[in-house]
Structure 1
């Protein structure tokens, strides 16, 4: 017969405060919606430019899409392992950091650059298997 081996007492990896923080982040999380992204890209690249109020909402949504796509590229390590994905993620970050111009024509141009960057990054991430094709 073998002698019992003393085991270390188990301690949870996170304390209550850290678990509360994790729970809050899980509650705020929303799944990636490729259909909504493609709808916003189509709206931004449409022949008819969005108007004032619609422009601000669309700009905010495109900012969120760019953030999510860059996060996916980083989490899957595509930004480091695939040169093209890394370049597109860097471009998306740069566009995200720019402020939307005040005048309408420049704002529409900025919006379209963001939409184009989101579309290219989405296509690249799908091509290398980080995402399923968006519908």
Structure 2
């Protein structure tokens, strides 16, 4: 009976969901991630018109790093990674404050989390460091 099950192939998957995920996939760009984190952490806040785009990119970086951490099991092996992944989810749920100084503080917290999570993933060999 097991041989018959093996011949049937893998379980059915929702191909439309798979296609949607492939189309939406954005490759990991470590240099852009570092640049965006540095921009968020800079002492000089970005101009108000740049904030929404920077926020969107930082949240994408958090998602990518969180997915890598979970897929590699780093969040299970390292409490620091688990804490950062949890913190990422909390930050992601918060709206961007309207007041510019508060918005800059929010961007800095996200940028710091991106930077720390990237460092932890490099240390745990889930991500290669950059030169």
| TM-score normalised by L of structure 2 | 0.88
| TM-score normalised by L of structure 1 | 0.86
Gaps (5+ residues) in structure 1? 1-6
The yes-or-no answer on 1:48 pairing with 2:47 is no
Q: Would you say how many aligned residue pairs link Structure 1 and Structure 2?
A: 128
Q: For the pair shown, which has the larger CA radius of gyration, 1 or 2?
A: 1
The RMSD of aligned alpha carbons is: 1.7
The CA deviation at 1:31 is 1.5
The answer for the alignment partner of 1:91 in structure 2 is: 87
Name the SS of the counterpart of 2:44 in structure 1: coil
The answer for the alignment partner of 1:13 in structure 2 is: 10
Within-5 A mapping of 1:26-45 = 26-45=22-41
Does structure 2 retain, via aligned residues, the 8 Å contact 1:38–1:134?
no
Gaps (5+ residues) in structure 2? none
The structure 1 segments of at least 4 consecutive aligned residues displaced by more than 2 Å after TM superposition are: 7-15
The CA deviation at 1:88 is 1.5
